[in-house]
Structure 1
């Protein structure tokens, strides 16, 4: 049965100072003398982590990939392909585990993490040292064998990249992939998970928004929910090529104010957009 997370409370002492619970301070890497930026909002008060707080580490264990997506940076450079050595990864995990509060380790980058033959072993190693681990994949290599290995390794969250809701719109971006196969792989992964109100690992859908696919977003969210996704991350396309420059949905919006996230599930993370596009 899933554990219910306790509610944390801050207290204003007799001198009017806001006092955080020690476990909350540790979780956010707050040392004595730390300075936090305060932001007053209509709904309350927001504390921003200090810039020195390491909350997430992105690890690219390989820059190899089996696809040729329109949005990928590899369309603009030609670099040697390779993968991270086991000793390098172990040294990184050792360093992260020594921190007062180990950060989240996120497998992703320019390559496909599942293309590394030791990816499940790496997940297990990081989990064994007390790190939370997430991984993003295009889903084409998410075979039953790899799914079982990731589950046994203790993966906390799996992100699946889906940039279209139909086989045609998906293949228009994810060149070399077929949407039905990817969805079948995710469905099989979901069935293997440990059941519960908050089944583990959690499933998330990542969507790169651009002019050619933005109308598919509602259908992608509906598709993800049917497959058990509780997290949705929408990001803007980074224009590595002239073709992608014309696909941007943002130009002015990055200069506008920020917004506050919600703690409810499912959650949807949206980037800045020009609403008249």
Structure 2
């Protein structure tokens, strides 16, 4: 574990060293100037990332939880086995393949919607979906059957038992899985290159106009030759580190509180 943590701390330390000087109020509220100019920020990227992630959460979380409910409470045949198999397969698919799939399906292929926020959200939702499904499934399995039987004994139906007994009991664990899925999706770059494309200004349209995102601005800023643009890229990377750290720590705290209550 110590050997594995050495490169982790080196990466975090180097990114913090290079990006700390850029972080400030202007970095979160101003658009990015030309790469050679200092100042400015990633306001367009933060807005686009928030926009895309909200849509992705609205797509992936309800569907993932509903799929987990079916697998645990209703699925007993081959169809449930097929769903579990493809959920496991989707967990290991490289994200660039997801971007290619959405590009060929919605951007410039079967449906020609072009680049935009919605197609980018679809790509991120596909990446998040198996994580949410597997986490929710495992948490629902941990709810004791005695609780279900007690609910049935009091006259509740199947749907009432799931909504009022099973889901509330599994909610802390499901929340943890959802936050980890968001942490995974918020840093993806490859699918956004093929779906959002990127923008240096705030874009509010749902579809049809390229949308900005912090990972895309980091990618573009880090591969050009001007020091000011590279420093902003490190600032964006440090900001993503902070967001992911907050979500992971929050997920751990929620899980710890849930275990404490059960204990």
Coarse TM-score class (shorter-chain normalised) = under 0.3
Q: Per chain length, whose mean CA-contact separation is higher, i.e. which structure has more relative contact order (CA < 8 Å, sep 6+)?
A: 2
- Looking at secondary structure, tell me which structure has more helix per residue: 2
Structure with greater strand percent: 1
TM-score by length of 1: 0.22
